Structure 1
Amino acid sequence: MKRWPFAGRRHELDDLVRLARDPTAQGVIIAGPAGVGKSRLAGEVLTRFHAAKVTTLRIRATKAASSIPNGALADLIPPQHPPHLVNTVRWAADELLAQARGRVAVLSVDDAHLLDSHSAEVIACLVRGGQARLVATLRTGEPAPDPVTLLWRDGHVRRYDTGPLSDDDVTAVLTAALGGQPDDATVRRLAEVTEGNALFLSEVVGAAIAAGSLSEIHGMWKLTGAPPLAPRLVDLIHERIGALSPELKDVLEYTALAEPIGARTLGALTGERAVLEAEERGLVRVRVEGRREIARLGHPLYGEVAREHLPELRRRRRHADLAAALEATGLRRREDPLRVTVWRLAGGLGAAPRPLLDASRLAWSAHDYPLAIRLGEAALDAGGGTAAAIQLATLLDYAQQPDRARSVLDATLEPGDEPSKARLVLARASNLAWGMDRLGDALDLLAVTEKELAEPSGRRRLAVQRLGLTASAARTGDALRLGTELLAHDLEPAQRAQVLNSRALALCYAGRTTEATALVREALGAAATWRDELPALVSPLHSTWSMCGYFSGDLAVMDEAIASMRSALAGQRGWSRGEGSLALARGNAATLRGQLGTALLVLHAPANHETALTVGGCMAAYAAAQALRGEADAARDTLRAAVERNRATWTAFMRWVALTRVWIAAAAGESSRAVELALAAAADCRESGLAAFEAVALHDAVRLGAPVTVAARLAELAAAHDGPRVRLAARHAAALAESDADGLLAVAEGFDALGLRLHAAEAAAQAAGLLRRSRGERAARAAATEAWSLAGACQGPDTPALRELAAPDLTERELQVAQLTAAGRSHRQIAMELGIAMRTAMNHRNQAYWKLGVNSPAELAKALNRFRRPAGGTDGPRPISPPPNARPGQAAPGSRRPGPAAEPGGDGR
């Protein structure tokens, strides 16, 4: 790829510029591993020096010139020093200074660790004497010449250690390089495979674009396969690794196939000395975990290259060796049977059905769906019979491959024993409901079979499944009644956890989120007793937990649930309901905060998944975020696709669809129809006992400006529904119905305190409209500024309430004065800093006060500080107009173009 634009690392760059200009030192040395972007950082630092006062002398140290005196300075000084000259260091230093032509000399040294000793001493002489400043890069882990080392040790220059790119930096770099936004999954995958190494990132991205596996899909860049290994990338890896002895090659290959692997097991296969040398050279990393020493590759790409170039016969032999070595240890650890079974298969040694089934279940417990399915298929092929078929079909269903699951089930013979019959019926019912959208058939199958079974344990299994489907269908009354009946029995741990989850889901939909959260916590607290039997239950439990925070308006609960789900699904591989639930929870939390761009990034990959058949929930949430940003047509198309692709329309998913349609109508300028849709959705939810959904729908009508018909019902719900969100919604309806502007501003403050900034902005905007009509422009300006400030802290919102809002038209100078005033500067200080008269500074401040409707520096700071960029961006308030988070070409809140809003999508299970 062509040279990438510089992006990310803003705080690091600011720190480096400050150190480079520090009058108490003579410059900075940027140290870090190879490929992290030290040279680009140094180049950006150099651009900050004033060109009229500085001469930059670029010195490139190389390995080839490191043994030649003055080799690094060859392009800057004469080839020969005068005859009989004794002090060649001083001569070379004077020659360098002559190049500066009387200006400040800045020595730019790349790869200072490769400097020859004479060049190093010349540079150090100039820096120590204060005759030149230094901006240099240095590779960590490599010996550097003593003169260079002493420069920072003796305090003549500052040393700044930099590391790999953070995920935020990777996002910024990719956005700048690709000319468009990458989705969240793509950022995470590229950050993982490159470990934030800027050089590797550039090569991987270039190869992926060339191979067509990284492309723009529906407005965002998406990685649709494993990052390819281009020849140049392989060369870079080999250059980093260096020449390998046969023993080191053994270490690298065994680790690439087996990581994480015990260091002692690796030593038994390759020799202890080889492992120690490999660690010293950075080929592997050894960490102590518990009482074990665990070896992993020094970089993920080392494994990619090693596996790519491993001949098939040697690969098989390596796997067989690994299996034998692990079997010799007695398979003492929980994961050992899984690992040895996988290695035996890969080594061509085969395995019996029972070990394959056990290994498949262990892989499922680790949320590794591709491996679990592969082992399940091997167990079926090895003669595993009905047990293998049931397990494989179950895995395929949870991995969102219901058609394949159906094929396995159709080929399975009816078992003769009751336990097997019950398990087969459970698999078929799940496939009917989730994979074929046939809830009625699934419930009928369960009910008929339940009557046929003689064993109470089998009947309870089927009753637990009926409860799960009933709760997912949002039949709260039936689900709560059946759950109470089942909890009266002595249930197995996995069955009890399922019942608790179903009951919690029903309670959540009914608005009883506190009780629901308690049940989820109880079930997850006992996860050790049921996780191996039903690992997929981890996902719906967390999903319910997150929705409790969503409906109650408690973002801390959502964040806790999401963090816990991330941890529980840390080993997730392959698409599954779990991955979809995590993305959905994250997207809903971002949307509720008004972080609409973040929501789209998080939801883009699942919403555009190529093969998953039940991604409707994520797609509906994506449509909601689009609508909130004013993309009415796109939101309508996305929602239509969501309904078409979702294979479980009998779930609460259709309630989310109804809520999103409200805002799509508003986005299309159909305000009256939007209100009608909101009221219809609320009536349907009330009839079904779904108080949580009803409250959201009723509040949507308030946000659309129709509070009168819903205020009384919202007040009723506020008395029974858990959480502050519905109580604020009721206050919002009452204040708007009574034209109480002060009440609306108090509601805005309440929503802001919860973190629901978009709701807060809308309430403040409605207050501004009332004040403009009742108290005049001055009072309205203060409320409008509050609304504008809150909306600007979101990411590109465009809802009906905000369309009447105009961004304050501060001039550039007024903005500067406002920022300095908010920072606590006096008129005199502002005048001196900006080079203007003190009276002019006062006038600009007064104009800013008037336009923003504020009266003090504290109020000014509150309005402006919401626009500070997040970590990784530049400091200081964003521009006043257009709005800070607007997309290119997007109109400010207050523009008259059509565009709208949407309530976040929710559980699509």
Structure 2
Amino acid sequence: MHTRTVSPVFVGRASERAFLRKVLSQAAAGEPQAVLIGGEAGVGKSRLVDEFLAEARAAGAVTAEGACVEVGAEGLPFAPVSTVLRALNRQLGEELAEAAAGFGGELGRLLPELGAPTPAARAGRDEDERARLFELTARLLEALGTERTLVLVIEDLHWSDRSTRGLLDYLFRSLHHCRVVLLVTYRSDDIHRRHPLRPFLAELDRQRTVRRVELGRFTREEVRGQLAGIRDAAPSDRELDQVYRRSDGNAFFVEELATANDCGGPGSLSDSVRDLLLVRVEALPETAQRVVRTLAEGGSKVEHALLGAVTKLGEDDLIEALRAAVGASILRADGDDTYRFRHALVREAVDDDLLPGERSRLSRRFAEALEAEPELVRADERPARLASYWYHARDAAQALPAILSAAATARCRHAYAEQLHLLERALEVWDEAPAAVRTSLPLAADVESYPLCDCDDEELSFLDLLAEMTVTARRAGEPERGLAVVNRAMRHMEEREHPLRAAWFWTQKSRLVRNLAKGNGWPELGTAQKLLEGFAPSPVHAHVMTEAAGWRTVFDPRPEGVAVADRAVELSRQVGDEESELNALISRGGLLAEGGHGEEGVEVLREAARRAEESELVSVFKRCYVNLESMLEGIGRSEEAVEVAQHALPLAYRYGLRDTESWLHGNLADSLFSLGRWAECEAAILESRRTAQTPVSFAIAAKRLALLAVARGDLVAAEAELGRMTEHFNTFDVSAPQYAHPVATARIGFAAQQGRILDARRSLVETLAVGLAPGFGRYTWPMLDAAAVTESEARGVPAAAPGQASAISRIRECAASLPRSYQVWDAYALMVEAELRRAEGSACPADWAAAAAAFEGLPRPRERARISLRLAETLLAEGERERAAELLAEAHAEAERLGAGPLLAEAERLAQRGRLPLTPDEDAGQPDSFGLTRRERDVLALVAAGRTNRQIAEELFISPKTASVHVSNILAKLEVSGRGQAAALAHRLGLVGT
């Protein structure tokens, strides 16, 4: 029996086809394209894609297709991506292997043909590894899409797992300068309010690089063309009216109605959609119906051999039944010897028609067949499918170990969301499984530093499961779920003696509450440390103390923290945990540097970085080099920090650590800013933003751009970046000084330049109100300097006078608590104090000379230019005009080179007030309008502003008597009788600014 239901003539979709041709053309020109095609079930998405792929192949493109597989609640991890890579491997062979050279072990998680996955001990054990896998996948596609156009299609995204969606999102954002088209389809009518695809699509809509196409239903004339194609003859008006009315233009329903009319004549169908879809199934021979029902419960696609094992039909009978179903256009045979329904709607109708007992029995048969002959399905799909079959068979004894095995496989592929979903299913069936099964499970095998049980205690096995769920939730980016699991574990341990496990869970809780901005995590770490008192060293001890040392580095770098880090190093070495040891060493180096032992701290970090690089401990690489770079910059060794960044960036790229690249570029930007290389600094920040992968990285990039804009005086750009920074910072805890203090520096500088002195003061007060311990010279001195400059520039401003004394006192008090361990910190301390004295009106040349001497030899051109400007100002007030002019010219030239707008304007104002040349050939006495000299024009401006002779003298560094003479001369030259008339005339003639 053969029924043609698909029209050989492609009907309609003219605008969509034109759009896809344009997409292909743009990709061929080297601009990667991302397209989402949505539409209700049966509207014709797959047919449009098939036609497009045919055109792409005719144009010389390499095409590959994959489809999301419906297994469990959220699909098989990375299944469509693996299918696409496998198709590319078949077509490109050695070329793909060459493109993956150097990281095939990591990509082996998606395409086993490339090699065994990299062992966790070498690759690292945290969630950064998933980002690394994504980056290496993007790099592989970019390499393959350099010389040819690739068209990669992934269908049925509504069945996708979260890991697949995460990878697609990464590819959409990260592919650059390659000839790649990523085309994805999904069923829009399936996307209900809580469907996991809905937020994903909403996020993609914000990306300008991703375009969505929604397919509508056919018009009446298009349905006519479709029926004519199916029948090789034009339909009658009566039949067209009936089919169009009942199908409502849905292409698949048109096909079904056309076939049904052939079978039984017009009007023979039920109005039920399910009955409509089952008409041709029920017309099959009984054996073929049995095969179709079995296939419906087996998943989106089923292998020929597995189908035979489950149905227990002879080969000839099975082929005959399949031939009937394929001929009736119910099933389709794929090239990899698998079968699937030609349309998912038919499968859903068939599956819905099964009785509940039928479903569970069929699931059991699939599971038993797969247990008996594991080779019936691909090895990378077997664990997930077996877990799904046993789960739906409702056999807890078999389902629990199968689910945990699938969870371990998902972890190996960095599919953490799917791993968590499977572990939740394990928790769901836990109580139903026999005790003998629960106590023999290999749990917690991949949970860092967790104390493993000997598997003879059911209670401990349950805690092991909760431990695995805790870490998996954190890796999956679901800290709320992780915190709920931790709290459940703690309730379970009440009145039970499990101190090591309790300490481990408290440490996990510390990390989770920090991630959720529900605290800084120290109380939880303190509880964990107390629980370990009196016990012999163990991996848990090393883990807890390493976490405690890391916490002190970020939140409380007082000298006593070094002892905590030393203990963490010692414990890590005792238990043979090199990763914990290196992390503890990194914390130790940071604490040493904050405590004034910078040289020793740098050497500790250099050694840790060397070991991490030598052993390719990718999980530690980021902390080593990012912290070393930051430490060198913080203690004033900016050139060395640049060298570290230049060494580490190629390694981060080689390892595929994209977000680490963002951190390295960001710290490099800090050093370039200090060195006065602002154009390079901006380029580094933009690269940091381009490679950022987390809200933290995006926020810090925006903060750096805001600081640069404030330094340049670009308040429009500063405001925009501060807005972006705030948006991203709202997603995590920013109380740590390394975040909070630079943010405050940017906000204080921005508010001060806008004249919002009270807002600037409020930013400082709120930041200091956190009650942080003394320390953090790297981040706190620049913040205090920005606050001091604000008060210095606000002197004499009436609105700023109330509260200024209190603000100055607050800055001095904080400065007194900070260390001055390095030349750069001591120089900042002297500069801050000089600015505060300027705010009080008591600064003298000696104050600024001391600051200038402290900055001598430090590569800080912006600070040195400001000090030269301030020193020139005080010298001018004391009548040392020649030296003042020299310093002012130097400051002006440096400000001009940097592009430091506010500093440049201040230098020009001082030159104008003091009648000092900014260049050697500048003539300060050049006559001006109405015969007024430049100095007289300066005096006139102050007269127009309502200043008295004494105020004019103070402002222009002259005596009151000289000011009086200038005013008399001005009145005579303007031929006016008083100061009021002079001011009015000056404004009317434009002799002074507004």
Q: TM-score range by the shorter chain?
A: 0.3 to 0.5
Q: Larger RCO: Structure 1 or Structure 2 (Cα < 8 Å, ≥ 6 residues apart)?
A: 1
Select the structure of larger CA radius of gyration: 2
- What TM-score do the two structures reach when normalised by structure 2? 0.43
